């Protein structure tokens, strides 16, 4: 669906509050940054990362299921999977290749790497933040292909954070800096329009029937 008149017609079935909410949220959405989780075992961790992506305006999350096959924990994601795009991959390689083709640099998150503290991270480059398994961390494949390593400075006895906590801290920091910058981080007009259609389809129960009636009359 690419007809803007059709879009306006569909939006007429939404409340004014819902229409304005869609526009307000979409204006803050970005694909400048994205996130990838690599074979995360605990369902609630993946679900919590999805929720953080929605909260901080990240439109896409990439889920590698090479070892652990998952389902999204709806209760913990709290409906966020409805508004965030999930890209699922059977192998780490296919995920890395796809992200590279989209122009993303690969950022390995690790508490042990000495490359870059979060506060010094360069937000100007399109970046995908990789988070690994709860116990093993990122695979050697991601580490070998990473363009840079990112760590959250810690001053306590604990050397690592839960991945969902790490993701929330990193996303809050980089998106806050991004929105204060002059970088063109918003969705393109095409992406913006496509998401309006997508979210309406997910909101209106009889969307297909409404579309069919509209097309039969125009």
pLDDT tens figures, 32-73: 999 999 877 677 788 889 999 999 999 999 999 866 565 665
pLDDT at 121: 94
So what's the pLDDT on residue 161?
A: 80
pLDDT at 69: 60
Q: 68 lies in a domain?
A: yes
Cβ neighbors of 193 (< 8 A, separation 6 or more) are 2, 4, 7
97, HSE (Cβ side, Cα atoms, 13 Å): 6
Would residue 4 count as lying in a domain? no
Residues of the chain above pLDDT 90, percent: 65
Does residue 77 have a pLDDT over 80? no
Is 37 within the bounds of a domain?
Answer: yes
Q: Which of 2-6, 81-85, 141-145, 185-189 has the lowest mean pLDDT?
A: 2-6
C-alpha–C-alpha distance, residues 81 and 43, integer Å: 13
Mean pLDDT of all residues belonging to the chain: 88
CATH of the domain at 131: 3.40.1280.10
Strand ranges of the sheet holding 33-38, from the earlier edge strand across to the other edge: 85-89, 60-64, 33-38, 127-131, 105-109, 148-151, 116-117
Q: Is the pLDDT of residue 194 over 90?
A: yes
77 is a domain residue? yes
Asked if residue 124 is part of any domain, the answer here is yes
Report the domain count for the chain.
1
> What are the DSSP calls for 161-196, one per residue?
--HHHHHHHHHHHHHHHHHTSSS--BPPHHHHHHHH
pLDDT value at 75 more than 60:
no
Top pLDDT among 82 and 1 is at 82
Which residue, 199, 205, 200, 215, is CA-closest to 12?
200
Has residue 126 been placed in a domain?
yes
Residue 129, beta-bridge partner list: 35, 107
Share of the chain above pLDDT 70, in %: 89
Residue written as token pair 């800096």: 177
Alpha carbons 53 and 48: distance in angstroms, whole number = 9
Q: E strands, the chain, where?
A: 33-38, 60-64, 85-89, 105-109, 116-117, 127-131, 148-151
**Is residue 178's pLDDT more than 90?**
yes
- The answer to whether position 142 is within a domain reads yes
Kindly indicate the confidence band of residue 1, based on its pLDDT and cuts at 50, 70 and 90. very low
Residue 152 scores a pLDDT above 70: yes
Whether residue 148 lies inside any domain: the answer is: yes
Mention every residue, 6+ apart, whose C-beta is less than 8 A from residue 191. Answer: 31, 59
Which range marks the domain in which residue 127 is found? 28-185
Tell me which residue of 99, 164, 110 sits closest to 139, measured CA to CA. Answer: 110
Give the confidence band of 131 by pLDDT, cuts at 50, 70, 90: very high
From CA 112, how far away is CA 143, in angstroms rounded?
12
What local confidence, expressed as pLDDT, does residue 101 receive?
Answer: 98
């Amino acid at each position: 669906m690419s007809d803007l008149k059709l879009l306006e017609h569909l939006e007429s079935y939404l409340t004014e509050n819902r229409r304005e909410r869609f526009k307000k949220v979409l204006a803050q959405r970005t694909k400048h940054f994205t996130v990838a989780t690599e074979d995360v075992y605990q369902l609630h961790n993946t679900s919590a990362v999805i929720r953080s992506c929605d909260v901080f305006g990240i439109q896409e999350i990439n889920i590698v299921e090479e070892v652990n096959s998952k389902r999204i924990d709806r209760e913990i994601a709290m409906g966020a999977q409805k508004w965030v795009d999930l890209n699922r991959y059977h192998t780490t390689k296919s995920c890395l290749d796809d992200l590279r083709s989209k122009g993303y640099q690969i950022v390995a998150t690790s508490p042990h790497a000495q490359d870059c503290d979060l506060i010094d991270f360069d937000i100007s480059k399109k970046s995908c933040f990789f988070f690994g398994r709860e116990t093993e961390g990122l695979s050697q494949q991601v580490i070998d292909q990473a363009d840079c390593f990112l760590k959250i400075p810690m001053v306590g006895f604990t050397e690592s954070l839960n991945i969902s906590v790490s993701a929330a801290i990193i996303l809050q920091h980089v998106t806050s800096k991004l929105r204060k910058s002059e970088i063109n981080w918003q969705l393109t007009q095409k992406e913006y329009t496509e998401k309006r259609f997508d979210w309406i389809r997910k909101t209106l129960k009889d969307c297909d029937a409404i579309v069919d009636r509209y097309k039969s009359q125009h």
